[in-house]
A = this chain, B = another copy of it.
Amino acid sequence: MRQGETSLPTDRVGAICRSLRRAIVERALTPGDRLPEDALGERFGVSRTIARQALGQLAGEGLVELRRNRIAVVASPSWEEARDTFDVRIGLERLVVQRLAGRLSAEQRAALEAHIAGEERASGGSEAASIRLATEFHLLLAEMTGSPVLGRYVAELGYRCALILSLYSRPHSADCAVSEHSEIVAALVSGDAARAVALMDHHLDAVAERARIVDEPRRERDLLRLLAPYVEG
Contacts and interface: CB of A to CB of B under 8 A. Distances in A.
Interface of A: 7-8, 53, 56-57, 60, 68, 81, 84-85, 87-88, 91-92, 95, 147-150, 153, 157
Q: Copies per complex?
A: 2
A153 B154 CA distance: 11
Contacts of A85: 149
A56 B60 CA distance: 10
Interface majority SS on A: helix, strand, loop or mixed? helix
A149 B159 CA distance: 14
B68 A148 contact: no
Nearest to A160: B149
Given A57-B60, A60-B57, A60-B60, A84 B148 contact: yes
Contacts of A81: 148-149
Contact of A88 (B60, B87, B147): B147
Given A81-B148, A84-B147, A88-B150, 11 more contacts: A7-B68, A56-B56, A60-B60, A81-B149, A84-B149, A84-B150, A87-B147, A88-B95, A88-B153, A149-B157, A153-B153
